[in-house]
Amino acid sequence: MFKNKLHTFVALCLALTFLTLAMVCGGCSAAIPNPVVAKIGDVEVTYSSFYQQFELYASYGLIDTSTPESLAEGRKLVFDMLVSSALPVAEAHREGFTLTEDELTAARQKGRDAADNYYLEDFMNSSIEDENARREAAINQFNAAYKSQHYQYKDILAEFEDEYINNALRDKFVATLYTDIPETTDEEAKAWYDENLPEEQEAYAADPAAYYDAVESYAYSGDVRPLEAPEGLFYVKHILIKSKNEDGEAQDVNAKVDEVLQKILDGQDFNALIDEYNQDTNMTSMAVGNIMGEGLQDKYGEEYYNAAVALGKDDVTTLDFGDSGVYIIKRVDDVNTATVVYEDVAAEIKDKLFNDKKSAAYDAAQQEWKASNEVKLYEQRVKYVGVSK
């Protein structure tokens, strides 16, 4: 029903490690199951790292695999992220920046835990009481299962440990960039508020979809909430009744819908009915609801949008989506158009401005690191990534 919402998650991707080995290495050389596809200074990036990041980006809709041109752009996007992630590690190595023994031990343990959880869980025999013996037996089974693919658990474990060490080193090294950044003052934060408030008022009044996007961005990133909503927007909530219950058994959708509608007529709380009946995990009783109003037609499926905007305050309607189920939609409240006062967002603004300073420092450092560390990309080694078999 709803159109896919593509969130910006560059910061998340930069924070992700490139440590998960691909169990099926399509397109790899048989002689080199996991070849190096990039070198950044003395840091090597393997095919499996590239493959996993490509798949992650594609799953979020950040890569279009439909044409050779878009595939090439997608591979470049992955290379850019992996290079950005590796540069601080390479620079730390170049400068002789190190972890303490305790930090190394902790990183190795995290790597071992991650590798065990990801690869050994299905091989663990609960009947073996001794933990070490149980783990050794799981390793032996893993090695036997993947012997023909030339995978040995010790190699996977070593890569996991190395990546967790690199992650710890990266975090520690990058943190040194921020030690001299001053905290945001009240004057800076208030100046930002005074500048952005009229800009937001004008932008949201002209384009309610911009307000919708700002709300979505705030819910995802927790940056600074929108300072003022435009007139005419309201919230709707819904209850989805599917053709099957949570146990996968067929249910009489119409009878269930009638049951809910009768409870609504009897004055029962809609939020309580959401908790009792709703089968849409994206809609909870705690949520304020979906923002509706003129200008937001591109944010929802046409039928859902048209049904919702036709509702008056506290009205209820149903929308039948066939095999997908029936939606019981209620208009629950108007979006508050009162201006958010400075005091309520001061802390958020200060955090945002401080993070902006950190981002600027990091971006400047990245340029210096690129000049100091040679970057080699072996693009031919990933030319089949994303190509349909």
Q: What tokens appear for 219 in the block? A: 């819910």
Q: How distant is the alpha carbon of residue 186 from its chain centre?
A: 32
pLDDT given for residue 389 in this prediction: 59
pLDDT given for residue 378 in this prediction: 97
pLDDT given for residue 324 in this prediction: 83
pLDDT given for residue 388 in this prediction: 78
**How many C-beta atoms lie closer than 10 Å to residue 269's C-beta?**
11
Interatomic CA distance for residues 325 and 321, integer angstroms: 5
| DSSP-assigned letters across all residues of 224-281 | ---S-PPTT-EEEEEEEE-SB-TTS-B--HHHHHHHHHHHHHTT--HHHHHHHH---T
Q: What is the DSSP letter of 310?
A: T
Query: In a structure prediction context, what are the per-residue pLDDT tens digits for the chain, which is 389 residues long?
Result: 433 333 334 434 444 443 333 333 333 333 346 899 999 999 999 998 899 999 999 998 999 999 999 999 999 999 999 999 999 999 999 999 999 999 999 999 999 999 999 999 999 999 999 999 999 999 999 999 998 888 899 988 998 999 899 999 999 999 999 999 999 999 999 999 999 999 999 999 999 999 999 999 999 888 999 999 999 999 999 999 998 877 778 889 999 999 999 999 999 999 999 999 999 988 998 889 999 999 999 999 999 999 999 999 999 999 998 878 999 999 999 999 999 999 999 999 999 999 999 999 999 999 999 999 999 999 999 999 999 75
Q: Which of 354, 349, 373 is nearest to 178 (CA)?
A: 354
Q: Which of 354, 356, 340 is nearest to 193 (CA)?
A: 340
pLDDT given for residue 33 in this prediction: 66
pLDDT given for residue 26 in this prediction: 34
pLDDT given for residue 48 in this prediction: 87
Q: Which residues pair with 320 in a beta bridge?
A: 326
Interatomic CA distance for residues 62 and 56, integer angstroms: 9
Whose tokens are 């219950």? That residue is 245
Q: What are phi and psi of 110, to 5 degrees?
A: -65, -40
Buried b (16+ CB within 10 A) or exposed e, 316-346: bebbeeeeebbbbbbbbeebeeeebebeebb
The pTM for the full model equals 0.76
